Structure 1
Amino acid sequence: MRVLMVSWEFPPVVVGGLGRHVHALSRELAAAGHDVVVLSRAPAGTDADTHPSSDGTVDGVRVLRVAEDPPHLEFGTDMVAWTLAMGHGLLRHALTSLLPGWRPDVVHAHDWLVAHPAIALADVLGVPLVATLHATEAGRHSGWLPGPLNRQVHSTEWWLAQRADEVITCSSAMRAEVSALHDLDAGAIHVVHNGIDLRRWRSRATAPAPAGTGPRLVYFGRLEYEKGVQDLIAALPRIRRRHPGTRLLVAGTGTQQEMLGTRVAEHRVRRSVEFLGHLPDAELTALLRAADAVVLPSRYEPFGIVALEAAAVGATLVASTAGGLGEVVRDGETGLGFEPGDVPGIADAVDRALSDPRAARRRARAARARLRTDFAWPTIAARTAEIYAAARPGPPQNLPRPKIPTGNLFDRTP
């Protein structure tokens, strides 16, 4: 099949896990014989002089990188205007540089930021529109849509979900969430897990020698409220009472780093927590391999690809049961779990992991073995291709604006 993927990120432009997902999925589809084109953007804050539009091949995939247009728009301060401008640039480039000589059999949109160009292309071409919803705005805010921007994003998600001929989510938890939030039949939503490329985690670099002799806990990922790092910091005094000398190493960046620094001071663990910032892959792999436990305390997690990455290096996993994490990390089988936001539960789960290293290693081996079956990219690509083949194009739709409910949307979820 000829597949046109539309994504707001594609390596080296990577904001989160979505970019790596699109890269791996497109690569595996191309390896299976499909003709894949990815339509994406140049880095934010650039222009056609510094980063002109380009047309090249990456791992067998044709990649169109579209330059930003001249208007001075910034994602952080002008999100909706910036997103609309990006979508206009992607659409214009597709119509002028791609479609005159190449026509897709299916358009695959990845998340709400590309709703406008993806819907327009599917409508103009009369081909099926497949949409993967990687997360939801309400989910990122614990069920709330507190401001106008949140409601704008939510309504765009709703539009994409309603217009798509097939909808994909990365976990059963996300399927239930998308169904409830966007008025879809859960039975019509496909669950296709994210995957992992084990080759990326083969580095044999060694981590620096730890300061002290106590256990070493590691968190890695974005530093955002929904990731729950503040709960792990709150649990650290309890953990240290049971396991003296325990240190927490935090790898990653995000908007909540200042808040987390305040929490460290409040819980009097300044000497036991180190913020490492963003680490290159080799250094991160070494850090994970040397950890006594990798702790993922998310309050909201559509899937939890970081759990796969930790499992790939054989790390001991301790994770919340939030969303897809509970499907990735099976309590007592491939790791240990706790309820999201449960500070005593975090301390208890970490205590269990540190107190029985033999059982921890057994669970780590089971987690890594599962990567070669349930989370292998060739399997995921084959399942996605089946969805493409079965998709049938619907007519262009003029949909009304969705009503935005007040209060916590998750309280309405059956």
Structure 2
Amino acid sequence: MRVLMVSWEYPPVMVGGLGRHVHSLATELVAAGHEVVVLSRQPTGTDAATHPSVEEVLDGVRVLRVAEDPAHLEFERDMVAWTLAMGHGLLRAALTRLCPGWRPDVVHAHDWLVAHPAIALADVLEVPLVATIHATEAGRYSGWLSSPLSRQVHSTEWWLARRADTVITCSAAMRDEVAELFDLDPGPIAVLRNGIAPRGWRAAPGMVEAASRRYAPRGEPLLLYFGRLEYEKGVQDLIAAMPRIRRANPGTRLLVAGTGTATDMLVETARTHRVRRSVRFLGHLPDAELAALLMAVAAVVLPSRYEPFGIVALEAAAAGAPLVASTAGGLSEVVLDGETGLSFAPGDVAGLAEAVGTVLADPVAARARAAAATARLANDFSWSEVAVSTAAVYAASVYTAAAAGGPIELGRPKIPTGNVFGR
């Protein structure tokens, strides 16, 4: 099939896990014999003079990277306006540079930020629209849409999910969330897990030893969180648990790798709990350095309060690191409590500390669970299997779109006051 993927991030332009997902899926689809074009953007803050629109072929995937328009818009300050401008640029580039000589069989949109160009392209080209909902605004804020921005994002997500001929989520938990939030029948929603390429998450022994010497020169127990630093990731709960963890396991240190809007809050949280010297913020780490660190630590702790899937859990498992994770969303499907890691309820600081203590008290059992997690990757989280399932969804969407009789016009959703979950 000929597939047009629309995504607001694609390597090397990366914001979170979405870029890795789209890249891995695109390359696996190409390896399976499909033709894939990715429509994405140049880095934020550039323009057509510094970073003009370019086409290139990487790993068999044709990538069209679109320059930002001249308007002075910033993502953090002008999110909706910036997103609309990006969508206008993507649409214009696709229609003028791509689609005059090429027509896809399906358009695949990844998240709300590309709703406008993806819907427009599917309408203009008269092809099915498939949408992967990677996360929701309501989920990030525990069901509260208190700000105008949150309501705007939610309504765009609703539009994309309701307009799509087929919706994909990465976990059963996300399927239920999307169905509830956007008034959809959960039955037709396809649940396709993220995948992992395990070989990319191993490091040479020398690099692992160097990481141990650098961060634990006296053999102190090391804990690691890696990922985006946002409130919903729950790193504040992990920091709050550090005094209890250190009382039971003196000298334990926490390494926090990643960037995000919650960085300053987390630093202040460490000061409040008097563990600032035991918590080290590393910023963004290159993959090779991160892989070495994953193999050096006693445990990776993922304390998310909201997590649609938890691809970082797969990356930790690929490196063979013992896992301690909350049961938020898809994490409960990735980390099987007592089998491939240990779990605790989201926001349960005492439960988090107890689970970490269990890992540190019995490293042999922790490594056995880690080995089970690694072994599970090949069967349950193979990108080649994800690509096969995705291609089947594409094929089915052709019939779904035909049965619908073409695109439908939708009115605005009614956003209730109060919490949108459990209405």
TM-score by structure 2 length?
0.96
Query: Which whole-Å CA distance do the structure 2 matches of 1:277 and 1:191 have between them?
Result: 32
Corresponding letter in the other structure for 2:222: R
Taking the aligned partners of 2:147 and 2:217, their CA distance within structure 1 comes to 44
Residue ranges of structure 1 left out of the alignment (5+ in a row): none
CA distance in 2 between counterparts of 1:334 and 1:3 reads 35
Alignment partner of 1:108 is 2:114? no
Q: CA deviation at 1:203?
A: 2.7
Counterpart amino acid of 2:393?
Answer: I
Corresponding residue SS for 2:5: strand
2:309 maps to 303
- Residue 203 (structure 1) aligns with: 203
Alignment correspondent of 1:28: 28
Q: Which runs of 4+ in 1 moved over 4 A?
A: none
Structure 1 residue 276: deviation in Å? 1.0
Aligned to 2:407: 396
SS in 2 for 1:187: coil
Q: After TM superposition, give the deviation of residue 280 of structure 1 in Å.
A: 0.9
Q: Which amino acid aligns with 1:290?
A: A
Structure 1 residues 72-118: Cα deviation after superposition (integer angstroms, max 9, x where no partner): 11111111111111111111111111111110000000000000111
CA distance in 2, matches of 1:120, 1:221: 33
**Deviation of residue 202 (structure 1)?**
2.7
Cα deviations across residues 211-240 of structure 1 (Å, max 9, x unaligned)?
443311111111111010110111111111
Which residue in 1 is equivalent to 2:69? Answer: 69
Write the letter of the residue equivalent to 1:2: R
Alignment partner, residue 226 of structure 1? 232
Give, in whole Å, the separation in 2 of the partners of 1:315 and 1:294.
6
Contact 2:202 2:292 in 1 (8 A): no
- Give the superposition deviation at 1:143: 1.2
Q: Does structure 2 conserve the Cα–Cα contact (< 8 Å) formed by 1:212 and 1:245? A: no
**Aligned mates of 1:308, 1:12 — CA distance in 2:** 21
Instruction: Provide the C-alpha distance between the structure 2 equivalents of 1:11 and 1:406, rounded to a whole number of angstroms.
Output: 39
Structure 1 window deviating more from structure 2 (389-398 vs 27-36): it is 389-398
Distance 1:275 1:6 in 2: 33
Partner SS state of residue 380, structure 2: coil
AA matched with 1:118: A
Q: Map Cα deviations across residues 17-52 of structure 1 (whole Å, 9 max, x no partner).
A: 001100000000001000110000111111111111
Q: Take 1:14 and 1:199, find their aligned partners in 2: how far apart are those partners? A: 21
Instruction: State the distance in 2 between where 1:411 and 1:179 align.
Output: 12
* Alpha-carbon distance between aligned partners in 1 of 2:422 and 2:218, rounded to the nearest angstrom: 46
Deviation of residue 208 (structure 1)? 4.5
- Say if 1:289 and 1:313, in contact at 8 Å, map to a contact too: yes
Q: Is the 8 A contact 2:38 2:61 kept in 1?
A: yes
Normalising by the residue count of structure 1, what TM-score does the alignment of the two structures yield? 0.98
Paired residue type of 2:76: G
Provide the C-alpha distance between the structure 1 equivalents of 2:421 and 2:414, rounded to a whole number of angstroms. Answer: 15
What's the counterpart of residue 254 of structure 1? Answer: 260
d(CA) in 2 for partners of 1:78 and 1:380? 35
Q: Is the 8 A contact 2:55 2:63 kept in 1?
A: yes
Whether 2:337 is the aligned partner of 1:356: answer no
1:151 aligns with 151
1:123-165 Cα shifts (integer Å, max 9, x gaps):
1111110000000001111111110000000000000000000
- Alignment match, 2:244: 238
Q: Which structure 2 residue ranges, 5 or more long, are not aligned? A: none
Aligned to 2:3, the other structure's residue is in SS state strand
- C-alpha distance in 1, partners of 2:259/2:139? 20
* 8 A contact 1:214–1:243 mirrored in 2: no
Mapped to 2, the partners of 1:320 and 1:99 lie a distance apart of 45
Listed one character per residue, the Cα deviations across residues 266-305 of structure 1 (whole Å, up to 9, x for unaligned) are 1111221111111111111111110001100000000000
Deviation at 1:320, TM superposition (A): 0.2
CA contact (8 A) 2:203 2:295 kept: no
* SS of aligned partner of 1:372: helix
Helix, strand or coil at the partner of 2:421: helix
| Cα root mean square deviation, aligned | 0.9
Measure the CA separation in 1 of the matches of 2:180 and 2:120.
26
Query: Who is 2:138 aligned against?
Result: 138
CA separation in 2, counterparts of 1:299 and 1:196? 23
What's the secondary structure of 2:379's corresponding residue?
coil
1:282-301 correspondence runs (5 A): 282-301=288-307
Q: Distance in 1 between matches of 2:421 and 2:295?
A: 37
Change (3 A) 1:356 1:208: closer
Instruction: Report the identity percentage.
Output: 74
By how many angstroms is 1:263 displaced?
1.0
- 2-side partners of 1:287 and 1:202: how far apart? 10
Could you say which residue in structure 2 is the equivalent of 1:216?
Answer: 222
Aligned to 2:17: 17
Aligned amino acid, residue 185 of structure 1: D
| Residue in structure 1 matched with residue 417 of structure 2 by the alignment | 406
Distance 2:8 2:271 in 1: 37
Q: Secondary structure at the match of 1:47?
A: coil
CA contact (8 A) 1:239 1:351 kept: yes
1:335 and 2:322 equivalent?
no
- Asked if the contact 1:297–1:319 (Cα under 8 Å) also holds between the matched residues in 2, the reply is yes
1:115-130 residue pairs with structure 2 within 5 A?
Answer: 115-130=115-130
Residue 80 of structure 2 is matched in structure 1 by: 80
1:73 and 1:338 map into 2 onto residues whose CA distance is 41
Partners of 1:51 and 1:328 in 2: how far apart?
Answer: 39
1:349 alignment partner AA = A
What is aligned with 1:54? 54
Secondary structure of residue in 1 paired with 2:387: helix
- Distance in 1 separating the partners of 2:234 and 2:411: 36
Partner-residue secondary structure (3-state), 2:52: coil
SS at match of 1:63: strand
Matched, 1:371 2:397: no
